[in-house]
A = this chain, B = another copy of it.
């Protein structure tokens, strides 16, 4: 087994110990990828069979609104990247693009998903990923909906300081739902 797979498996199996057999079953459908900045992992409106786990690097997801890119999130080390719509066999709503040269683990959803119905450990493993994603979305919603711009900025700066080192402010402003000029002015304090 590739040593990088272990990080991924451990990250989402905190509730249960996976058997050797389960580990082998999952690893059959994983690969390690090294890809360059600007590579597009998933395209808006397309079906796609893979999800990804970021071993090293930075990724953003965005979609187009009236021709303008609207960023929806950034993934760094140990984050999952993918589209739940893809998981449910629907076209992705977002485009997912590398911001840095990155090392990723790809997960073949088409092959792994059916195993949920035959291997209970895999069912719970996938469950943990989706639960995690749902909690993340809840946070993102509260954060987005319920804060003033300045609070959003300060909280993001506090919780995800690495983003400000590695992600252009234009993208961050777009994620925060404010213009880059407004973000620039908030920072001038």
Contact = CB atoms under 8 A, between A and B. Distances in A.
Contacts of A135: 84-85, 88
A146 B177 contact: yes
Q: What copy number does this chain have within its complex? A: 2
Given A116-B124, A123-B124, A134 B141 contact: no
Interface string A83-123: 01101100001000000000000000000000011111001
Contacts of A19: none
A87 B131 CA distance: 10
A117 B72 contact: no
Contacts of A123: 116, 120, 123-124, 127
Interface of A: 15-16, 65, 70, 72, 84-85, 87-88, 93, 116-120, 123-124, 126-127, 130-131, 133-135, 137-138, 140-142, 144-146, 177
